[in-house]
Structures are given as structure tokens and as C-alpha cells.
A = this chain, B = another copy of it.
Amino acid sequence: MNNSRFAISLHILTLLERAKGELLSSEFMAGSININPVLVRKELSNLRNHGFVDSKEGKNGGSYLSKSAKEINLADIYKAVKQNNLLGISKNTPNPQCSVGKQMNTHLNNLYNSTEQALVKELSSQTLADFSNHFD
């Protein structure tokens, strides 16, 4: 994960948790994160698909948490956002004619899987509510 989607999603969810059910507009959240509102809406779309938030269209619309922050742990957010391999593998096409190259991706994937498990385990120890409580 090279992009900042995890940070953006966590920021959004933290804002929504602290809004205590009040609807927040994408523009407001974009102002807090300091990014473009369209990116917030895209990220909200993903969070909505994963059941974390709901949105209301139209005037005075906005988004809100659709489940308790205690029921969302940080690993859930990570999984909802993740697309690449943790340690990066954007281009990785070793030479199949080389005995090492041929087997590299298999062993690399095994390694990536176990490291990701460790990461997920660590992240799952904290809920969104816990994270949000760190803020004043």
C-alpha cells in the first residue's frame, strides 16, 4: 500500500465517530484532511460498500457511521482499503529460466502472507472507538 488510502479512511471514520451521528459533508472532511472532496467521496463509496458508513444525498446531506465504532477494528479498515501486497510487488516478473527466479514469487508470497497476518493481528487489537478516544 503506497498510497494514503488507509490514512484517509481512518481520518474520515474518526471524524464521523466524533461527530456522534451528525452528518458531515465531503467538503468538510476534505478540509480536515486537506485533500480534494472528490477523493473523500470516492473513499466514502468504498467505506459504504464495506458497511461502515451511510450517506444521505441532497441538501443538508452528508455521511455518518452506520455501525458502532466499537464494532469496527482497524484491521477491518485496512482490509477494506488494501489492494497491493504489503511489501510492494508492483512489478515482479522474475526470469522463469532461472532456478531462483522461477521460485521467487512463491516464496515471496508465503512471506508476505505471514507478515500481513502479523500486521492484521496487531491492527485488530484496536477498534475505531479506541483510536478516536486518543483525540482530545
Contacts and interface: CB of A to CB of B under 8 A. Distances in A.
Interface of A: 1-7, 10-11, 14-15, 18, 31-35, 74, 78, 84, 86-95, 98-101, 103-104, 107-108, 110-111, 114-115, 117-119, 121-123, 126, 131, 134-136
Contacts of A98: 31-32
Given A84-B2, A99-B136, A115 B107 contact: no
A37 to B, nearest CB: 13
Contact of A74 (B1, B32, B111): B111
A74 B134 CA distance: 33
B111 A126 contact: yes
A114 to B, nearest CB: 6
A33 B14 CA distance: 42
A1 B116 CA distance: 14
A17 B134 CA distance: 46
A120 to B, nearest CB: 9
A80 to B, nearest CB: 13
Contacts of A92: 4, 7
B100 A11 contact: yes
27 contacts: A1-B88, A2-B2, A2-B3, A2-B90, A4-B92, A5-B88, A6-B87, A7-B92, A7-B104, A10-B108, A11-B101, A34-B94, A35-B91, A86-B119, A99-B135, A100-B135, A103-B134, A103-B136, A107-B131, A107-B135, A111-B131, A114-B122, A115-B119, A118-B118, A118-B119, A118-B121, A118-B122
